């Protein structure tokens, strides 16, 4: 049995090496398909780890409150840019009262806009956030230069701003930003502080922020009276569910909502966000991998065509082998093994280049300052070896069966 297998390997190796160019081109489709699947799965896992890491860095004791209703499996409409005006600063003030939310420790209200900043002849686009509340306890930020907004200033229309280090560098260059007067939508604002640099986020760059008083952002810059969102921090992770129920009950009472199905707000914990993002990114990752895997079918069809050509070219060889005693199953094994060998070798080469490109991309992204993990799962190896071999078997069956059914006399007469 072992001797027969060695002989089969020798015959297959000789057949593949006798036409190296054709063998390589035949494997190319499988190489590209497997490489694409491995690369996409690795990039998907890296992107997922980045997003989940950024969410987790906010803290598992945080609760986000967004305007607009949503079901448990999807985000509220405000996430997609739909303006929802149901959440107000007075709602956040009510949540701070212990009689409403017993376990609430800190709270923060936000209104976000995007607008260009002007200073002398410099123009720079930044993310502007009107804030009011316990900023450092919620966002874990620190001041590098100057000072932060006082609570009285955050609840006023004071024309003051605290900027991120990227804004300071891009707008003011080597000049000291403290005390400088810049313009936002024709409104002159004085810079009183610069935040310490933080790591980049998968959603936004915290170093590109301009923080201004909430009242100023709402009334002067945007002319609105509602919030983009709010965040609260509870005293203990174990009390997250209790706090979320208290928040919902308080907001329903304030918004005169009797039926939870009529909620005009969404309350989510970081834990919920992690679960939701994991579900979405998993679905996206596997969908893209499935799309890339379609190229394996194209490669499989190519292998079947080449194997049929090979059967035709080697008709006399098949007839000779049968004439000296080769059985049908041995001929079938030979061509099926050739097909599997082509796809398996192509799959392993594709795996190598997929991992290589995934590593290079991860290295580049990490050099840009993102916390991107280089991840290649065991599933990638299973796909490379298992799926490519399966493609070889499926698309090699017909040519192998056709070769095994050839009549030896007719095959020897074939010209």
256-304 pLDDT, tens per residue?
A: 988 888 888 888 877 666 666 677 777 777 777 777 677 777 777 777 8
**CB < 8 Å & 24+ apart, contacts of 352-356:** 353/31, 353/35, 354/34, 354/35, 354/36, 354/37, 354/38, 354/39, 354/42, 354/380, 354/384, 355/38, 355/42, 355/380
**pLDDT tens by residue, 206-265:** 788 999 999 999 999 999 999 999 999 988 878 888 898 999 999 999 999 888 888 888
Question: What proportion of the chain, given as a percentage, has pLDDT over 70?
Answer: 80
What is the structure's pLDDT at 149?
Answer: 93
What is the structure's pLDDT at 342?
Answer: 81
Q: How far apart are CA 71 and CA 261, in angstroms?
A: 9
What is the structure's pLDDT at 21?
Answer: 73
Higher pLDDT among residues 12 and 394, named by residue: 394
Q: How far apart are CA 167 and CA 300, in angstroms?
A: 53
Q: What is the mean pLDDT of residues 171-194?
A: 92
Is pTM, for the whole model, over 0.75? no
Residues in the chain: 415
pLDDT band at 354 (very low <50, low <70, confident <90, very high): confident
What is the structure's pLDDT at 131?
Answer: 93
Q: Decide if pLDDT at 415 tops 70.
A: no
Q: What is the mean pLDDT of residues 39-49?
A: 78
Nearest Cα residue to 207 out of 116, 127, 130, 137: 127
Q: How far apart are CA 90 and CA 151, in angstroms?
A: 15
pLDDT band at 18 (very low <50, low <70, confident <90, very high): low
Q: Is 125 helix (H, G, I), strand (E, B) or coil?
A: strand
What is the structure's pLDDT at 413?
Answer: 59
**pLDDT tens by residue, 130-181:** 999 988 888 888 899 999 999 899 988 999 999 999 999 999 988 999 999 9
What is the structure's pLDDT at 346?
Answer: 84
Q: How far apart are CA 14 and CA 275, in angstroms?
A: 53
What is the structure's pLDDT at 7?
Answer: 59
What is the structure's pLDDT at 72?
Answer: 59
Looking at every residue in the chain, the average pLDDT score rounds to: 80
DSSP for residue 44: H
What is the structure's pLDDT at 86?
Answer: 86
What is the structure's pLDDT at 202?
Answer: 47
pLDDT band at 112 (very low <50, low <70, confident <90, very high): very high
């Amino acid at each position: 049995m072992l001797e027969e297998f060695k002989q089969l390997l020798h015959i297959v190796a000789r057949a593949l090496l006798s036409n190296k160019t054709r063998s390589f081109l035949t494997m190319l489709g499988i190489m590209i398909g497997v490489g694409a699947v491995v690369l996409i799965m690795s990039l998907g896992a890296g992107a997922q780890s980045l997003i989940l890491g950024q969410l987790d860095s906010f803290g598992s004791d945080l609760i986000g409150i967004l305007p607009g209703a949503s079901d448990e499996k999807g985000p509220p409409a405000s996430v997609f840019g739909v303006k929802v005006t149901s959440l107000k600063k007075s709602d956040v003030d009510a949540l701070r009262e212990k009689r409403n939310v017993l376990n609430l420790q800190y709270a923060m209200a936000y209104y976000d806009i995007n607008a260009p900043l002007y200073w002398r002849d410099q123009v720079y686009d930044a993310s502007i956030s009107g804030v009011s509340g316990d900023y450092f306890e919620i966002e874990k930020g620190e001041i590098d230069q100057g000072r932060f907004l006082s609570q009285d200033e955050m609840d006023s229309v004071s024309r003051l701003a605290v900027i991120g280090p990227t804004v300071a560098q891009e707008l003011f260059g080597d000049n000291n930003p403290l005390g400088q007067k810049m313009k936002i939508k024709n409104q002159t604002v004085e810079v009183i502080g610069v935040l310490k640099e933080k790591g980049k986020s998968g959603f936004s760059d915290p170093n590109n922020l301009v923080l201004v008083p909430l009242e100023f952002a709402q009334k002067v810059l945007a002319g609105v009276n509602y919030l983009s969102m709010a965040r609260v921090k509870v005293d203990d992770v174990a009390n997250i569910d209790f706090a979320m129920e208290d928040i919902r009950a308080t907001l329903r009472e304030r918004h005169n909502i009797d039926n939870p199905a009529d909620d005009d707000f969404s309350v989510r914990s970081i834990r919920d966000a992690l679960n939701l993002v994991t579900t979405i990114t998993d679905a996206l990752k596997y969908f893209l991998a499935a799309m890339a895997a379609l190229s394996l079918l194209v490669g499989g069809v190519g292998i079947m065509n080449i194997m049929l050509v090979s059967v035709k070219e080697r008709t006399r060889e098949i007839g000779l082998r049968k004439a000296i005693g080769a059985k049908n199953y041995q001929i079938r094994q030979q061509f099926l093994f050739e097909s599997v060998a082509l796809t398996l070798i192509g799959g392993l080469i594709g795996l190598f280049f997929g991992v290589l490109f995934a590593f290079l991309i991860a290295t580049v992204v990490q050099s840009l300052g993102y916390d991107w993990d280089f991840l290649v799962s065991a599933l990638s190896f299973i796909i490379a070896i298992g799926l490519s071999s399966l493609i070889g078997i499926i698309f090699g069956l017909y040519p192998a069966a056709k070769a095994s059914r050839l009549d030896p006399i007719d095959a020897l007469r074939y010209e």
